[in-house]
Amino acid sequence: MDGQIIRAEYSDIMQKSYIDYAMSVIISRALPDVRDGLKPVQRRTLYDMYELGIRYDRPYRKCARIVGDTMGKFHPHGDSSIYEALVVMAQDFKKGMTLVDGHGNFGSIEGDGAAAMRYTEARLEKVTQDVFLADLDKDVVDFGPNFDETEREPLVLPVRIPNLLVNGADGIAVGMVTSIPPHNLAEVVDAVKAMIRNNKITTEGLMKYVKGPDFPTGGIIVNQDELPEIYETGQGRIRIRGKVEVEKAKGGKERLVITEIPYTMIGANIGKFLNDIAALIETKKTTDIVDISNQSSKEGIRIVLELRKGADIERLQNLLYKKTRLEDTFGVNMLAVADGRPETLGLRQILEYHVDFQFELATRKYQNLLEKEEKKKEIQEGLIRACDVIDLIIEILRGSKSRDQVKACLVDGVTDGIKFKSEKSKKLAAKLMFTEAQANAILDMRLYRLIGLEVEVLMKEHETTLANIARYQDILNNYDSMAAVIIKDLDSFKREFCRPRRTAIENAEEIVLEEQKIEEMPVVFLMDRFGYVRTIDETTYERNKEAADTEQRFVIHCLNTDRVCVFTDAGRQHLLKILDVPFGKFRDKGTPVDNLCNYDSAEENFVAVMALNDIKDTVVTFVTKQAMVKQVEGCEFDVSKRTIAATKLQEGDAVLEVHAAHEQAHLVLGTKAGYFLRFPASEIPIKKKTAIGVRGMKLGAGDELTGVYWIEGGECPEVTYADKPVHINRLRIGSRDSKGTKAR
């Protein structure tokens, strides 16, 4: 088979492929449609449940069956995404109005996941059937083929309320994200009615009905004045606070009870919130809280903070709002698929699309109903007329040889081959001229329909049909009539499914928290050989000085407002705030340093610990196993990051010594092979943190530094090599980068 080679620019092909992929994700996966407010996976799951007959008044069915059927027929993107969508639609703490009635463990507000789909069951909610799926049989929406063209699925559901606002939406597409908060059904319905009555209404006018978001977790929106701009542009940030109540406790004490939380706190963030409160207590940011308990249940949120007597409640509330997620922001980006493309929409635009969609649904619905009534009218008129000439029709039936012969006579007046009792009957039969549908109805009519009462019923049905036709024609031809029908349906939905508003809306001033001044006091920082740290006061240290100096690896005198630099052999510096280190008794175990910084005991070991105040005005000397040395100005370690690279190392090298020495000090380097070199510290150049340094001593093949000693202020450490003492103060003073003297 001959082929043709098509030459194309690789970048053009990649660009087109990526755009196609991005649009597929945007339109077919991640973003909701502005008309029904549903993502494709949600729409397909609900439609599949409708097709399976899992209605609100029927037994629950296993979620595994629903997920498998949806994946096999409509959504071939994996069972986990379908089940996750099903679970979210059943969680009342995430949705303003649940669409699925879940039976079993569907997760909790505290972040617990749902049980596996083989254990849980579900069925449609009544609101889903009545408001989302009710008119699917009336050809009100377009259907299209599924992924393998073996089934047909609705391209949009005939949702009768602005679900995009009522339930909100969130999703991440390629290069864009949607985040729409949920709203109150009653308020949104009133806004739709106002839009129908006045299509020129402004966003400001609509906000007389839609006060703001209504989160299922309650809470308080505190930036009311910013909402008009958010609803005008479709973008902005909403500040939400949890609801805090003050309760009396025993002994004249009080407690703070959090009964509602920000919508953004649901899930794992509740646990983080409790940890943040515990951190405030540990770091002495507050001393008013004596106990924390989470008493939340299915009935609602209840987080209790027991307070000491005389606690400053107002300041504590401000502290919680400022330092924890009890006040948080919800980023609004009302992005949805409108007319086949992603678009950021304001409140008015969303309602405009919804109203247009409702009129489209109503038009198609009543056109369909009108067609059915007109067909019914045609048949009824034929039957009524047939009752008037029933004797002639019976004569035709008795004189005919086949159904087709009778039908031809009734429709076209063909009398050939039919035996009549008289020529008059034959002439009358030739003039009947029923329609084909009427002829079929007459032939299918049963004899009991000839009873007088049945004829009266037929006449009444015909009158009803004529009334329906007139009504449907009025609805289709008159805007006000169609608007009245839509509004009537909205009112019925509002009466049956609305609930009171949960989220309060107000204007509140920005929290200004005056930090309590910490009383500065000298403390002693202790770190043992296992890396546990704590601080004690100086009096306690003096009483236990001998034990502290013996048992502790590092003992640092500093202020409680100071910071300490922890240097490791991997060349890193970890910065600890003394206020973060637990203060207690001498025999307290302390806290692992790993909990206070990014120290990794599997990759690094402690080399030195220094108070930042002691070194920031001096220079710090680094010595490595490969005899690289340098000095760094201490101010370079005064940083905001908890962990930084304190020095650069060559491959296979490690920091052996970090020391803040005086310029007059002498440095003695000792090697594994027994060489010792003494030279003035002033010969070591000052470098940046990012530098490797210079060579301090020439090493023989396979040799490395094993000891670094300092001679300063008349002090001289005792050194041994091969079990023999080495008097380093008697060593000849050499120069940096020499071989040194062999110990004897």
Confidence of residue 515 (pLDDT cuts 50, 70, 90): low
Rounded mean pLDDT, 57-67: 95
Across-strand partners of 733?
678
Q: Extract the runs of DSSP E, i.e. beta strands, from 569-704.
A: 572-577, 591-592, 606-611, 619-624, 628-633, 643-645, 655-659, 666-671, 675-680, 694-695
Helical (H) or strand (E) element with 497:
helix 479-497
Measure the CA–CA gap between 306 and 292, rounded to whole angstroms.
6
List every span in the chain annotated with CATH 3.30.1360.40. Answer: 243-325
Rounded mean pLDDT, 247-260: 88
Across-strand partners of 566?
574, 609
Measure the CA–CA gap between 132 and 147, rounded to whole angstroms.
23
CATH of 243-325, one of 3.30.210.10, 1.10.1060.10, 3.40.50.150, 3.30.1360.40: 3.30.1360.40
The answer to which of 51-60, 331-340, 380-389 has the lowest mean pLDDT is: 380-389
Measure the CA–CA gap between 344 and 178, rounded to whole angstroms.
9
> Which pLDDT score is estimated for 452?
61
> Which pLDDT score is estimated for 512?
65
Check residues 445 and 554 and name the one with the higher pLDDT. 554
Q: Dihedral through CA 436, CA 439, CA 441, CA 446, nearest 10? A: -170
Residue in this structure with the two tokens 């924890």, named with its chain if needed = 324
Q: Tens digits of per-residue pLDDT, 367-417?
A: 999 999 999 999 888 888 888 888 888 888 888 888 888 888 888 888 888
534 CB neighbour count, 10 Å cutoff = 22
Rounded mean pLDDT, 637-655: 90
CA distances from 236 to 26, 108, 346, 432, 465 (A): 22, 29, 11, 72, 53
> Which pLDDT score is estimated for 597?
85
CATH of 353-496, one of 1.10.268.10, 3.50.50.60, 3.20.110.20, 1.10.340.70: 1.10.268.10
Q: Tens digits of per-residue pLDDT, 674-723?
A: 899 999 988 999 999 889 999 999 988 888 998 898 888 767 777 888 77
Across-strand partners of 336?
343
Three-class DSSP labels, 311-339 = CCHHHHHHHHHHHCCCEEEEEEECEEEEC
List every span in the chain annotated with CATH 2.120.10.90. Answer: 522-742
> Is CATH 3.40.50.10420 the classification given to domain 38-158?
no
DSSP state of 223: B
Rounded mean pLDDT, 550-566: 90
Which superfamily does 522-742 belong to? DNA gyrase/topoisomerase IV, subunit A, C-terminal (2.120.10.90)
CB contact set of 175 (below 8 Å; sequence gap of 6+): 22
List every span in the chain annotated with CATH 1.10.268.10. Answer: 353-496
Residue in this structure with the two tokens 């070199």, named with its chain if needed = 677
State the chain's mean pLDDT as an integer. 89
The answer to which of 32-36, 118-122, 202-206, 616-620 has the lowest mean pLDDT is: 616-620
Regarding pTM above 0.75, the answer is no
Residue type, 268: A
Q: Tens digits of per-residue pLDDT, 440-484?
A: 888 887 766 666 657 788 889 899 999 999 999 999 999 999 999
pLDDT at 556 over 80: yes
Measure the CA–CA gap between 452 and 449, rounded to whole angstroms.
8
Provide the annotated active-site residues: 119
462 CB neighbour count, 10 Å cutoff = 17
- How far from the centroid of its chain's Cα atoms is residue 76's Cα? 23
Measure the CA–CA gap between 409 and 401, rounded to whole angstroms.
12
> Which pLDDT score is estimated for 718?
77
Tokens found for residue 84: 């996750």
